[in-house]
Amino acid sequence: MRVQVALATALLVVGLAALMSFVISKRSGADLQNQIGIGVSDIALQMADELDRTMWTHRGEVSVLSTLRVLREMQDVREISSIINRLRHEIPIFTWIGVLDRDGTVVAATNDLLVGANIAQRPVFQYGKNGQFIGDVHDAKLLAEKFPLYNGEPIQFVDIAVPLVNDSGEFTGVLATHLSWEWADAVRKSLFSGQGIHQNVDIFVISQDGTVLLGGDGNLVGSKLSLDALSEAQSKHIGWKISTWSDGKEYLTGYAPADGHLDYKGLSWSILVRQHVEDALAPVYDLRRDILLWGLLLALVFSAIAWWAAGFLVGPIGKMVDGIEAMKRGEISNLPDVRGAREINILSKNLQALLTKLTEKDAALGEMKRIAHHDKLTGLGNRLALDVYFEHAVARADRKGAEIAVLMLDLDDFKPINDRFGHAAGDDVLREVAKRLRRCVRGGDLVARLGGDEMVLVCHIDQNGKEEAAILAERILHEILMPFITGGNRVSISMSIGIALYPNDSREPEQLLEHADAALYAAKARGKNGYIVFSDIEDLTDNSSSCA
């Protein structure tokens, strides 16, 4: 029981730990996933806002610069060159600034790059001469060789251009600028390096047609994405979802549109921020593992406690069990008093009372059974006992291949004793006869009184059944011939015996009794105080006929 209690406690604790781990991990996983999703969508929104604010700021700077008279009139090229180089020095994001005349020829530029070159076919002039122009990210076709590679790739630009108009309202040229795309990557790295649950996040800038402009380790730059999260961002939605990317892995993906700032309409960029699901939920897995480990540890601790505590319950119960076993073996007669908890004390007392009643009941039943199977006067078995005995004796004889001797006994001239000395004297004689018969048989044999002075003896015989039965009959006759003393009177009596053998004379108990009774009458007819075996009756009849 102690082992069962300890194991049950351990299983309960482990089960609870497993259930808690499952429930907590499910609940925590959902909450943490939502928290990280909101976090990455916030990062996407911040990145979009930072990009739009930066573009809005520099667009304003270019617009303000274009209002300078020296640029609009385009008469002092040297002064123009000084101004734009100073701006380039103060704001390095302007990788190249150039002033183009009305024909598209570069008349002044930072570091004199492309001065004298005609770029009338470039978008900065084509669109810039008609109004403020902001161009999307593109490769530096004319300036690629003038600037070092960035991350092993040619430098890319974002264009801002505005027309130049003199005081007379005449178009005089275009102020064109190239902003290095490095600034966007710098913003990404400085703002969102990632801490805590936002470690190992990737930030992507996607163009209107789905081309990756910036993001990750650069492997996806230039490729096109087709994601449900991207579709949400292009639809001007902000949020997050779990998306399967081109590498076949699932990521928590936050999305937001870069839809401009104030009067700046933006370039229809979309910002995606992703984090691998396994990395995002690593704290959940750690929590689940910790709960299971603590559950196992607590299972061991509580099992030991349960083992120790069960001793207070199992100890007294064990003593009661030992006492009951000792009672069954007959070593003790009463269940010992066991002390313990209140319930144990009550159980012990009630069990003692119950066992006492059962013992009394068994004794009463035993006595009733004895009375039911025994003759009241002599204490010998009765007809019921004889029937029960026959049932077991026949089965035993068949099993061992043995024989059974049935001896029908009847006292000779018993009635005169009752008439002369009284029925009390007759009863004394019957009781004494019963004692003498018991002395003549073995423990496993049966002597029964069928009524009056008629009795029957059934015994097992291993071999030579007829001879052994005869020897037993001779011993009985000798015992009965010894005088009886009753009421101060000396009484002598004899007995006649009829013998039948199983299975030679019959295999049926009732027929055996009938054969033994027939042999008894034959013995009385021959002169009493003797015995006859049933199988000899026919020989005796034949001999009597011959003598006649």
Catalytic residues: 453
Non-local (6+) Cβ contacts of 165 within 8 A are 72, 171, 172
DSSP-assigned letter for residue 153: B
Segment (H or E) for 102: none
Across the beta sheet with 212-215, what order do the strands follow? 212-215, 202-206, 269-276, 250-258, 239-244
Cβ-defined contacts of 523-529 (< 8 Å, 24+): 523/496, 523/497, 523/498, 524/410, 524/412, 524/496, 528/412, 528/413, 528/494, 528/496, 529/412, 529/477, 529/481, 529/494, 529/495, 529/496
CA atoms in the 13 A half-sphere facing the CB of 480: 27
Q: 465-481 vs 423-440: helix axis angle to the nearest 10?
A: 140
CA atoms in the 13 A half-sphere facing the CB of 299: 17
Tokens of 228: 């449900």
Q: What does 244-291 look like in DSSP terms, one character per residue? A: E-TTS-EEEEEEEEE--BTTB----EEEEEEEEHHHHTHHHHHHHHHH
Q: Is the dihedral of CA 108, 111, 117, 119 positive or negative?
A: negative
Q: 77-90 vs 2-65: helix axis angle to the nearest 10?
A: 170
Strand 403-412, strand 454-461: pairing: antiparallel
Is 448:455 a contact under the CB 8 Å cutoff? yes
Is 146:135 a contact under the CB 8 Å cutoff? no
Question: What 3-state DSSP class applies to 154?
Answer: coil
**How far is 14 from 451, CA to CA, in rounded Å?**
75
Is 243:227 a contact under the CB 8 Å cutoff? yes
Distances (CA, A) of 139 to 99, 156, 266, 365: 20, 5, 20, 113
Q: How many CB atoms lie within 10 A of CB 159?
A: 20
DSSP-assigned letter for residue 381: B
DSSP-assigned letter for residue 401: T
Non-local (6+) Cβ contacts of 56 within 8 A are 260, 261, 262, 263, 264
**How far is 244 from 264, CA to CA, in rounded Å?**
33
Q: Which residue's structure tokens are 């130049």?
A: 164
Distances (CA, A) of 375 to 75, 381, 382, 514: 155, 6, 5, 21
